Chain A
């Protein structure tokens, strides 16, 4: 668990650096993503989350500092394709990342790009469709799938390359609540059972609660980073950045302010309910 998978050192990224109107999207980012970790990157709009995500798989190259993925520097051109294979990316809009008019062909795309033999591609496609619960849709047209299913297909489309890490850039923001739950459940399962490292970019704080660690970006810098309970304890700091607490934490915080000594471990509505149930039994 302590092995570093992605090491980010003093990273700066400037858009349109050659022009006078260059825009500094990230500055002085130091971050380590551990192998097997479930990391959430949170932050308000324009804080640099997507920029950071694209630096992880060498879609963007650092303007300053380094990004090292499994020992490979993203600046070195020979490393780029192996880095992209190891770091699978899933994007926000489910429609805009599906390439084929057939579910199984779309799942195969990444493996075909790696030049794997046909039998190996077929084996991997069957396996990833099973892992994402899409086996029964193998010969369907993707535009007939629900939003949640499309995002699971996008996950299958990168899993087929056998990556060590999934980076998902706001994958749930265009989904309905049911699709959102479905996707989160899939991510947690992949992380727990397959030991896939997950980096989830989101501005839904409810999703951050499920992570091992939360990194909050603000204005291109890391504002705070740590386990969810620690990060969410910084209520004023988060409010100052413009991030809303999850509903349960909002309630807990309000109660604490009125003098109820609630423990810091309460992160979800279920924790809150369990706490009050126990309390009622004790009294």
Chain B
């Protein structure tokens, strides 16, 4: 039951998007996100939407997965729509009791929901099409120039790697603890919020103690395998840009430039 967390989880595949360098995907999605936030007219919107749709089609992900991210965030979309529609003053369009909808409100609501939906659709593409371990390597490489400013790029990436490694293990452990406590008559899902919180204590205490022991063991094991930080370390799968990567970065940057240019025409 705890392993059912799957929003944005990697879906193996062999599309162009799957094969791109992880850095390309991160940079491309950032450029697309800025375009989506920056468009100021329908031409700009069309350009950003076209980029998003193309990316989704190229990913060859099943439509159910793509719409899944929208579905799990539908409440956010609805609330944003309603707030925008009801709270924008302007020419009156309709009155529902104490609530008034203006023409401007309607337009603003549609616009912001379109922006949000596009953002959600594109934001999950890197995690959906890249194994986490590669994404981590990509992020490390992207932030590594910041090392000179004191950003611990390697350490952050190692933390992410270890978190990815141990989340499934901790979930498995949590399930064991839950069923052990259940078998002794503990309930985790009933009662008032205070009682519920208290009932979680017997779950978190052993989990936390276990995690500390793991961390200690792991540090010893890593040092035994000659780990001494990021200096001098190499990578088995070095990241490499291919022609496709340059094309994709070029296209996304062109779209971004186009959207921004369109703001001024």
| Residue in B220, B222, B228, B234 whose beta carbon sits within 8 Å of that of A99 in the complex | B222
User: Which B-chain residue is minimally distant from A141 (CB atoms)?
Assistant: B168
Q: Cα distance A54–B161 when bound, in Å?
A: 26
Q: Mark B169-213, 1 if CB is under 8 A from A, else 0.
A: 100100000000000000000000000000000000000000001
Instruction: Tell me which of B225, B226, B236 contacts A118 (CB under 8 A).
Output: B236
Q: Is the CB of A115 within 8 A of B234?
A: yes
> How far, in whole Å, are A97 and B165 apart by their CA atoms in the complex?
11
Asked if B234 and A121 make an inter-chain contact with CB atoms under 8 angstroms apart, the answer reads yes
- Asked if B265 is at the interface (CB within 8 A of a chain A CB), the reply is no
Cα separation A54 to B165 with both chains bound (whole Å): 25
B133-A101 in contact (CB<8A): yes
A118 contacts B221, CB within 8 Å? no
Contact of B161 (CB < 8 Å), options: A96, A99, A121, A142: A99
Residues of chain B contacted by A57 (CB below 8 angstroms)? 224
Q: Tell yes or no: B257 within 8 A of A by CB.
A: no
Q: Which residues of A contact B168 (CB under 8 A)?
A: 101, 141, 143
CB contacts (< 8 Å) of B234 on chain A: these are 112, 115-118, 121
A89 CB contact (under 8 Å) in B162, B169, B221: B221
Closest CB in chain A relative to B137 CB, distance in Å:
9
B225 touches A115 (CB 8 A): no
Give the nearest-CB partner of B213 in chain A: A96
**A84 engages B133 (CB within 8 Å):** no
With A96-B214, A143-B168 already in contact, the answer to whether A113 and B228 are too (CB < 8 A) is yes
Within 8 A of B (CB), among A68-113: 81, 84-85, 88-89, 91, 93, 95-102, 104-105, 108-113
- Tell whether B148 is near chain A: CB-to-CB under 8 Å: no
Q: How many residues of A contact B (CB 8 A)?
A: 41
Determine the residue in chain B with the shortest Cβ distance to A108.
Answer: B236
For window 133-178 of B, CB contacts with A under 8 Å fall at 133, 161-162, 164-165, 168-169, 172
Any chain B CB within 8 A of the CB of A158?
yes
In the complex, the answer to whether A110 meets B221 with C-beta atoms within 8 Å is: no
Q: How far is the CA of A43 from the CA of B135 in the complex (A)?
A: 46
Q: How far is the CA of A11 from the CA of B179 in the complex (A)?
A: 47
B220→A100 contact, CB < 8 A: no
Complex Cα distance, B166 from A98, in Å, reads 9
On chain B, the residues within 8 Å of A161 by CB distance are 225-226
Chain B, range 221-244, C-beta contacts under 8 Å to A = 221-228, 232-238
Q: Say whether, besides A99-B218, A100-B165, A112 and B224 are in contact (CB < 8 Å).
A: no
A84–B228 alpha-carbon span in the complex (Å): 12
Please state if A102 and B133 are interface contacts (CB–CB under 8 Å): yes
Chain B residues with CB under 8 Å of A117's CB are 234
Q: Give A114 to B165 CA distance when docked, in angstroms.
A: 22
- Given contacts A115-B233, A118-B237, is CB(A93)–CB(B217) below 8 Å? yes
Q: Which residues of B contact A (CB under 8 A)?
A: 131-133, 161-162, 164-165, 168-169, 172, 213-214, 217-218, 220-228, 232-238
29 contacts between A and B (CB under 8 A): A59-B224, A81-B226, A84-B224, A85-B226, A89-B221, A89-B225, A93-B214, A93-B217, A95-B214, A96-B221, A100-B133, A100-B165, A101-B161, A104-B236, A105-B133, A109-B225, A112-B233, A112-B235, A113-B225, A115-B232, A115-B233, A115-B234, A116-B234, A118-B237, A121-B236, A122-B236, A143-B169, A143-B172, A161-B226
